[in-house]
Each structure stands twice: as C-alpha cells, then as structure tokens.
Amino acid sequence: MSSKETHKPAVQTTGHAWDGDLQEFNNPLPRWWLWAFYATVVFAVIYWVIYPAWPLGRDYTKGLFNTITYETSDGRQVETHWNTRARFLREMQAARAKQEQILQRLAGVPYQEIAADRELSAFAYSMAKVLFADNCAACHQSGGAGVAGLYPNLADDAWLWGGTYAEIEQTIRNGRRGFMPSFARALDEQQLDDVATFVLSLSGFEVDPEAARRGGAIFNGQAGGCYYCHTHEGTGMTSQGAANLTDAVWTVARVQATAGVEANKEAVKAVIRKGIQREMPAWAGRLDDTEIRILTFYVHQLGGGQ
C-alpha cells in the first residue's frame, strides 16, 4: 500500500463543493443490500406476471403459465388460473381420493395384511378410535376396559366368544347373547357353596379341598351340569360364550384377588344363583362393512387377539 492511500479522508465526498467548503459526502449503499433490492424488484415483476396481481377496474390480472385443474362436486374438470381456493379444492380432492383408496383396500384385504401394512393399520387405527368412542365406549369404556359385571373388558387376552378376527367380526356384526341359567332352584345352599368353592379352586384359590371335591362332582355331574357349557376342565366354550373359569379373569363375578376366599365365594355363588343374561347389540345395518372390519381390527389389537 502506498502512503498516499493510507491518508485518504475517512469519508469520501462526491467532489462537489458549494460556498467554498460545503461538500457532499458519498456514502454508497452496501453492495449486498443493493443486490438484494434488485433481486426483490426482479422477483416482484416475475410474480406479477405469473400470479394474479394487479387490479384492472372490476377485474384483475390473472397471471400467466399457471393454472390449476380441479373437479367440481358434480364431477366436471375445471381449469382455472392459480388461486388459493382452487388450490385448496385440489388438495382436498387429492386427500379424499387417497382416503377413498385406503378405505377400498381396508374393505378388501385380509386382516393379516392390514396388520402388516403400516399405512393401512395406522389409518384403520385412527378411524377405529373415533368409531369406538362413538359406538362402543358407552358400554365398554374408552380403551375397552369394560365395567366389571356389566360389560366385558376388550383389552385383555380373555375372550368369551373367541379372539380370532373371524370371531370378533361375528360378535360385532351379529351381536351376542351371553346366557347362563339361574341355579337358584336346581341347587341348594350347600351345593351352591360347594360348587362355588370348586370354581374358585380352578383359578388357584386356596380352598377347603373336601368342599371343592364335592363341588367338582356337582360341576361335572347331573346336579349342576356346568360342564355342559364350561367343559369338564372349566376352560369354557367360545361357541356358547361360556367363560373360561380357570384363567383368573372374571367378567361377571366380583372376584378380587385381594378379597378373602369367603367374600369371593359369595360373589361366585351370587352369579350361579342368579344366572347371567346380557347382550352385546348387533351392528350390521348400523355400521357399514368397512366400519365393522376396522373395529374388528382395532378390538383384535386391543385385546391381544388370536
């Protein structure tokens, strides 16, 4: 650098001078700012050409080279200049077409395929949550936890009517009638006591073995005939909706692991004495086939389906 340049004045002037010493400073705008400004000008001009921009009396410039095609509600294809309404309609249509396509697949493919396909299962799941809340949660509670004694828990692994896709679909489509006769007349108090003791022994309660032995004879004999629906082993029968009595899952009897044997025996006795009559309503006709399939998939997932 030469020494001359280092002595340049701090601020450049334009070289003009008035009244002898009145000078005009020259402070140019920064380069980057200037270029950015030019760029916005260029952008604005391009934008005005392509997009609707300038008012023209009652009309406005529509923009060039930029059209949107969408379908009207009566199925006509309409091509129009770019505008946000048309863009919104087109996006809605694309979403609806996609949804339509997914619903069609949900209606047709086997359940296993829904489970294996992430997009399908996520869609089914989110739709099912709404369907379940609207139609099922009033009885089965949100999340399917049920109400002890009234509505079975759908989120556990115990099924009255079976936990395969086909069985669950059947349950929802046609409804189910859970029926066990009352034994108030067939059995006396001692027999009720004994058979209830036997039932508790099936799911692992420590009970009087002699009473349980007598109860077992009633359960598997003519007096009780319980085996007829619950099988000799007490494992239940999904064709009858007869509960598995060996799994320590109680849907009707108010048996609690923490309550004593005596209290639980009373709870079981109450059920045997009174019998059971409850109904799962049928949904065919109220929900369409796809909705029933979606709910079947959902309930199967909730309860560790089989």
Residue ranges that bind ligand HEC, judged by CB under 6 A: 135-136, 138-140, 151-152, 154, 159-161, 168, 171-172, 176, 178-181, 183, 195, 199, 219, 224-226, 228-230, 240-243, 245, 250-253, 268, 271-272, 276, 278-281, 283, 295, 299
Q: Report the residue number, 70 or 167, with the smaller CB distance to ligand HEC.
A: 167
Comparing every residue's Cβ against ligand HEC, the nearest one is 178
Q: Report the residue number, 160 or 212, with the smaller CB distance to ligand HEC.
A: 160
Least gap, CB of 141 to ligand HEC (angstroms): 10
Least gap, CB of 65 to ligand HEC (angstroms): 52
- Alpha-carbon distance 154 to 39, whole Å? 64
Q: Report the residue number, 89 or 292, with the smaller CB distance to ligand HEC.
A: 292
Least gap, CB of 301 to ligand HEC (angstroms): 12
Q: By three-state DSSP, how is residue 30 classified?
A: coil
Q: Helix H segments across 74-208?
A: 84-108, 111-116, 118-135, 137-140, 165-174, 189-202
The DSSP-derived string for 219-244 is HTSTTT-THHHH-TTS--BTTTTBPP
- Alpha-carbon distance 149 to 161, whole Å? 16
The DSSP-derived string for 199-223 is HHHHTT----HHHHHHHHHHHTSTT
Q: Report the residue number, 61 or 238, with the smaller CB distance to ligand HEC.
A: 238
Strand partners, 277: 179
Q: Report the residue number, 193 or 224, with the smaller CB distance to ligand HEC.
A: 224
Q: Report the residue number, 70 or 152, with the smaller CB distance to ligand HEC.
A: 152
The kind and range of the H/E element at 253 are none
- DSSP-derived secondary structure letter, 51: S
Q: By three-state DSSP, how is residue 163 classified?
A: coil
Least gap, CB of 135 to ligand HEC (angstroms): 4
Least gap, CB of 202 to ligand HEC (angstroms): 9
